[in-house]
Amino acid sequence: MQLPVNDITSLIPQKQPFVMVNKLLLVDETSTRSSFVIEPGNVFVKNGFFQEAGLMENIAQTAALRAGYLALTDNKPVENGYIGSVKDFEVLQMPQINDELLTEISITGRIFNVTVLTGRIWLNESLIASCEMKVFEGN
């Protein structure tokens, strides 16, 4: 599977209208990057702005993209993942409809089926949100 991946539907367990990523841009040893364009009908849009829960889900789904991509390249099934905890979630700017978000996760640790990561979201090269997240993998 070559990057970028424009059709991410086979990589994540989420289905519309709950998909908060559009493209998988990069996967390397410790990092993953995705992009996402906020559509007017998105479930996390309120008064024209993409809400905090959507930003958090965007980070989590970037982690899901990574897990799905690695699973498929190893001929394994794509598993569900669950947010275990979020720490130091900070939102510096609320994105709007039609904004394109660039999201990067960096894996900082892995213990059994728990991945610890740092997530960052950029809009027009400005950091707009970040957090540390623990994601549990498995069905």
pTM: predicted TM-score of the whole model, two decimal places? 0.95
pLDDT of residue 139: 65
Task: Give a yes or no: residue 31 inside a domain.
Answer: yes
| Encoded tokens for 82 | 């669950």
In a domain, 97, yes or no: yes
Residue-level pLDDT at 2 = 83
What's the structural domain count of the chain?
A: 1
Long-range contacts of 69-76 (CB under 8 A, 24+ apart): 69/1, 69/5, 69/11, 69/24, 69/27, 69/32, 70/27, 72/1, 72/10, 72/11, 73/1
Residue 16 lies in a domain: no
Q: Is residue 68 part of a domain?
A: yes
- Rounded to the nearest integer, the mean pLDDT of the chain is 95
Residue 118 inside a domain? The answer is yes
79 C-beta neighbours (distance < 10 Å), count: 14
Which amino acid, 66? R
**Within a domain: residue 90?**
yes
Look at residue 138 in the predicted model and tell me its pLDDT: 76
For residue 124, give the 3-state DSSP assignment.
coil
Q: What domain range includes position 41?
A: 23-137
Low-confidence ranges of the chain (pLDDT < 70): 139
pLDDT per residue as tens digits for the range 29-44 = 999 999 999 999 999 9
CATH number for the domain spanning 121: value is 3.10.129.10
pLDDT of 55-77, one tens digit each? 999 999 999 999 999 999 999 99
The candidate with the shortest Cα–Cα distance to 121, out of 41, 36, 40, is 36
Q: Is residue 12 part of a domain?
A: no
d(CA 133, CA 114): 10
Tokens matching residue 69: 């991509």
**Does residue 6 fall inside a structural domain?**
no
